[in-house]
Structure 1
Amino acid sequence: MTASLAMLPALALPALVIVAAVKDVTSFRIPNWISLALAAAFVPAALIAALPPATLGLHLGVGVAALIVGMGLFALRWIGGGDAKLFAAAALWLGWPALTTFLLATALAGGALSLAILGMRNPALRPMVLMGPRWVMRLAEPEEGIPYGVAIAVGALAAFPHSPFLAVL
C-alpha cells in the first residue's frame, strides 16, 4: 500500500498533461489549475524520488528557463498563455536529462498537429469535418489557433521515461 501511495506524485505528470491536451483540443484553453497542480506535485515527487540538491536545482533552472521561453513565444503570439505555463511545468518535471527529447518530440508533434488541422481546414475536407462534434468543427475554423497543449503533452509523455521519476514507478 505504501509503495502505491509513493507512486501517485510521479504519475501526476503523465495524468495532468493528458488532461491538459484533452481540455486544449476540446476548448482551446488549458486551465491554470493544471499547471499549478503539476508544479505543486513536483515537490513531493522530487522528495520521493530522492533527487539530489544539484539535480533539483537543475530541474528548477530548466523550469524557469522554459517559462521565460514560453512567455516570449506567448508575446509573439505563437502559443497561448496556457501552453506557455504547461510547457514550463512539464519542463520542471523533466529537467535536463529529458529536455532534448521533450523539445524534439514537442516540435515534431506540433508540426504534425498543425498539418492535420490545416488539412481539416482545407475547403475540400471542411464539409466532412463540419458533420462532427462541435469541438471538431471548431478545430476546422480557419480563424482558430492550434491547440499546442496537445503537442506539449506528446513531448512530455515521450520524455517522461528519461526523467528520474520513472524509477519510482
Structure 2
Amino acid sequence: MIIASIFLVLPLCFALAALTDLFTMTIPNRVPAILLLGFIVIAPLSGMDWHSFLLSLLAGFSVLLACFALFALNTMGGGDAKLLAASAVWFGLNTSLAYFMVAVAFFGGVLSIGILFLRSRSDEITALGIPVPNSLLVASKIPYGIAIAAGGLLAYPEAPIVQSAIRALM
C-alpha cells in the first residue's frame, strides 16, 4: 500500500497541477498540501530514516525561501512557488533535487518560448479556430505549473523515495 502511494501521489498531483494551471492559470492550494502531507505520512512508513526525512523537509523549506523571494519580486506566482517547494520534499536535499530544478528550468524555457510564439500568432490561431486555451493567448502570465510538472515527471525516477520503492519491489 505504501509503495503504491509513492507511485501515485506525486505523478497525480503533477498532472492535476499542470492541467489546472493550463486551463485556469491557478494551482489549487490542495495540490501542494496533498504533496506535503502525503510525504509527511508516506516517508516514515516507507522506512525512510529520520535524518533523510528532515533533510527532505529542509530541501522544501530552502526552495520555499527562494521561491518566496521570486514571488516578492513578482517574477513567480504563489501557486508555482508552493508547488515547487512541496515537490522538493519528495526529492530531498541531494543531486535528485538539482536534477529536478534543472529539468523544471529547461521545460520552463521551452514553455515560455512556445507560449510567446502562440501569443505572437494569436490572431491567426483564433481565425483558424485552432483549439488553444484562451488563457494561453491573452494572459500576461506563463502557466509555470506545466513546466514544474514536466520537470518533476522527468526527475521522478531519481527521487530517493521512488528508488527505494523500486528496490522494495524487486
Cα contact 2:25–2:135 (8 A) shared by 1:
no
Confirm or deny that 1:39 pairs with 2:39: no
Q: 1:128, CA displacement in angstroms?
A: 3.5
Q: Distance in 2 between matches of 1:8 and 1:72?
A: 35
Q: 1:138, CA displacement in angstroms?
A: 2.0
SS at match of 1:140: helix
Cα contact 1:16–1:38 (8 A) shared by 2:
yes
Question: Superposed, which structure 2 residues align to 1:6-21 within 5 Å?
Answer: 6-10=2-6, 11-21=8-18
Q: Deviation string for 1:83-137 (max 9, x for gaps)?
A: 0000000001111231111110000000000000000011xx212432244x622
Q: How many residues align?
A: 161
| TM-score normalised per structure 2 | 0.88
Determine the structure 2 residue equivalent to 1:157. Answer: 153
Gaps of 5+ in 2: none
| TM-score normalised per structure 1 | 0.89
Question: Superposed, which structure 2 residues align to 1:115-154 within 5 Å?
Answer: 115-122=113-120, 125-130=121-126, 131-133=129-131, 136-141=133-138, 143-154=139-150
Percent of residue pairs identical: 35
Confirm or deny that 1:25 pairs with 2:25: no
Q: Deviation string for 1:39-70 (max 9, x for gaps)?
A: 11002220232111111111010000011111
Q: Deviation string for 1:7-28 (max 9, x for gaps)?
A: 3331211110111011001100
Q: 1:165, CA displacement in angstroms?
A: 2.2
Instruction: Please tell me the residue identity of whatever aligns with 2:133.
Output: V
Q: Distance in 1 between matches of 2:116 and 2:124?
A: 14
Q: 1:163, CA displacement in angstroms?
A: 1.1
SS at match of 1:111: helix
Cα contact 1:20–1:149 (8 A) shared by 2:
yes
Q: Distance in 2 between matches of 1:99 and 1:13?
A: 14
Confirm or deny that 1:99 pairs with 2:97: yes
Q: Distance in 2 between matches of 1:41 and 1:58?
A: 16
Instruction: Please tell me the residue identity of whatever aligns with 1:139.
Output: L
Confirm or deny that 1:52 pairs with 2:49: yes
Gaps of 5+ in 1: none
Determine the structure 2 residue equivalent to 1:109. Answer: 107
Instruction: Please tell me the residue identity of whatever aligns with 1:165.
Output: I
Instruction: Please tell me the residue identity of whatever aligns with 1:66.
Output: V
